[in-house]
């Protein structure tokens, strides 16, 4: 048992300094029994090309270079932050940022709240507002994919970072967004009965996305003292997951 533990320690110590490209999946059997070439397990070649796992973890701020899943997520977050930095550097002084600048992968948000607040400030100034994108519940052709990517789970922090210099714009946004989200709240009040399985299967996730972000925007506004008309307040939604 002692010898096995020593071998395990030696293995882990060696893993931390191995280049990421040296970690490969086992060969796959093709039709007929021939073996294919081994496949690299990583997807971030610009980060990983000549660095060890320990070096990559230090670069992207990952705490454990041996946690491959966590390291991959941190690499994706690092790349998302880099892309956001480039966009902000290019358009921060533009009087009217074009909506096409929001062509990001909406599945991965920038972890840095400063960058998310900066991108939201660009969204506030962009005309026309960017629409469309691939969402977790399918492709959508409205403003929700971008706003969900920018604000979800961090609306209060994003608003707080901008309210000192953009209070009027944020007040206008809150009223506008609650007006957009309010029609979808009825599906979660506990009094709505779906008459179509298609609407329930495909529509409900979209209704929930509007309602969840609407509730978060409303709660953030209340917390920060951002006023909005009482007529726009969302009803209680006990069925909202």
Q: Tell me, what's the pLDDT at 30?
A: 36
Q: Tell me, what's the pLDDT at 40?
A: 38
Q: Tell me, what's the pLDDT at 58?
A: 82
pLDDT, one tens digit per residue, over 55-88 is 888 888 888 888 888 888 888 888 888 888 988 9
Rounded to the nearest integer, the mean pLDDT of the chain is 80
Does residue 43 surpass a pLDDT of 50?
no
More confident residue, 98 or 212: 212
CA 163 – CA 169 distance, rounded (Å): 9
Q: Per-residue confidence at 93, pLDDT binned at 50, 70, 90?
A: confident
Distance of CA 176 to the CA centre of its chain: 22
What percent of the chain has a predicted confidence (pLDDT) above 90? Answer: 44
Q: Tell me, what's the pLDDT at 172?
A: 98
Catalogue the E-assigned strands of 109-214: 133-135, 138-140
pLDDT, one tens digit per residue, over 8-36 is 444 344 444 444 444 443 443 333 333 33
pLDDT, one tens digit per residue, over 182-237 is 999 999 999 898 889 988 888 999 999 999 999 999 999 999 999 999 999 999 99
Output the six-digit token pair for 146: 């971008």
């Amino acid at each position: 048992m002692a010898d096995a533990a020593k071998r395990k320690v030696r293995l882990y110590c060696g893993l931390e300094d191995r280049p990421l490209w040296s970690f490969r999946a086992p060969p796959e059997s093709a039709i007929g029994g021939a073996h294919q070439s081994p496949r690299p397990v990583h997807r971030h070649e610009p980060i990983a090309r000549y660095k060890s796992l320990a070096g990559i973890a230090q670069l992207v701020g990952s705490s454990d270079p041996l946690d491959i899943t966590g390291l991959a997520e941190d690499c994706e977050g690092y790349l998302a932050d880099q892309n956001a930095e480039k966009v902000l550097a290019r358009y921060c002084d533009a009087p009217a940022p074009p909506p096409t600048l929001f062509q990001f992968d909406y599945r991965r948000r920038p972890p840095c709240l400063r960058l998310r607040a900066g991108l939201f400030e660009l969204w506030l100034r962009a005309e026309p507002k960017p629409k469309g994108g691939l969402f977790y519940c399918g492709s959508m052709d409205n403003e929700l994919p971008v706003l969900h990517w920018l604000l979800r789970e961090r609306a209060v922090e994003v608003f707080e970072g901008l309210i000192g210099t953009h209070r009027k714009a944020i007040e206008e946004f809150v009223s506008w967004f609650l007006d957009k989200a309010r029609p979808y709240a009825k599906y979660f009040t506990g009094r709505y009965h779906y008459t179509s399985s298609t609407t329930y299967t495909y529509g409900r996730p979209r209704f929930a996305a509007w309602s969840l972000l609407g509730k978060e925007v409303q709660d953030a506004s209340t917390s920060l003292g951002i006023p909005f008309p009482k007529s726009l307040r969302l009803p209680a939604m006990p069925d909202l997951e």
